[in-house]
Structure 1
Amino acid sequence: MFPDEVITRHQQFITPRRALRDAAEYREVTADEWAAFEKHFQLRRVALGDCFRPYGTPCVHEHACIRCPQLRLDPAQTPLLDSIEANTHARIREAEGKQWLGEAAALRETLHHIGRKRLQLGAPTSPT
């Protein structure tokens, strides 16, 4: 898929860099390490799709997945996204009615992210 020149130049770049690294970094992975790696990615499946955070990194959004750019939506979960959006609108109305202005602002931010997720799917923005 890549031109031969790109592959050759990449190999020329990487080979000397690998020689500078500790040989222990290139050892075979243990069964326990591989199991931990696989488990890590099994835990990345969420209701709306999959989390594409790099391996071994914490969730900086504290699992507010709808706001996270690392979430890749599963198109089959569009009805769930619709439900979340409708609920968010209802919560905004409640927050505004009770003068919970910080809550309302945070929920409007969530709506913004819902709209961005819809764009990733190529779906039109919900009319709600």
Structure 2
Amino acid sequence: MVEYRRGLRDSHEYRTVAPDEWADFEKHFQLRRVALGDYFRPYGTPCVHEHACVRCPFLRLDPAQTPRLDTIEANTNDRLTEARGKQWLGEVAALEESLRHIRDKRAQLPTPATPP
């Protein structure tokens, strides 16, 4: 099956990769590890969040980083309180959206096994 599929593809896709292309490919995967976990952005696609946004669907949290997520959530709540107090409505909306994503990321974490 693989040989059949390869036969359907253009032969230029199987060319020898240039050293600078290979270095770029390796760099992409070296940059996948971030403070909160692993960043699974497809190769060759840009990141508008600069690898740091809890809103990004490509971020997969490392359960060991839950305390860091707790800190981010507390900080976001503090900023939300300030924004509401100063009636920065755009900031309120953005922070509420960030909190929604933080909750979604937390829900994606595996639940700890309960002892029998």
TM-score class normalised by the smaller sequence: 0.7 to 0.9
Note if contact 2:54-2:101 (Cα within 8 Å) is conserved in structure 1.
yes
Task: Please tell me whether residue 59 in structure 1 is matched to residue 44 in structure 2.
Answer: no
CA root-mean-square deviation: 2.1
- Aligned position for 1:113: 101
By how many angstroms is 1:60 displaced?
A: 3.9
By how many angstroms is 1:61 displaced?
A: 4.0
Moved more, 20-29 or 52-61: 20-29
SS of residue paired to 2:54: helix
Count of aligned pairs between the two proteins: 112
Moved more, 80-89 or 21-30: 21-30
TM-score by length of 1: 0.77
Structure 2 unaligned spans of 5+: none
Q: Which structure has the highest helix share of the two?
A: 1
What per-residue deviation string (whole Å, max 9, x for no partner) do you get for residues 3-48 of structure 1? Answer: xxxxxxxx17x71x53343312112323332221111111122111
SS of residue paired to 2:81: helix
Structure 1 unaligned spans of 5+: 1-10
- Aligned position for 2:57: 69
Q: Percent identity?
A: 73
Structure 2 CA distance, aligned partners of 1:77 and 1:108?
A: 22
Task: Please tell me whether residue 98 in structure 1 is matched to residue 86 in structure 2.
Answer: yes
TM-score by length of 2: 0.84
Change (3 A) 1:30 1:49: same
Rg bigger for which structure?
1
AA of the residue aligned to 1:114: I
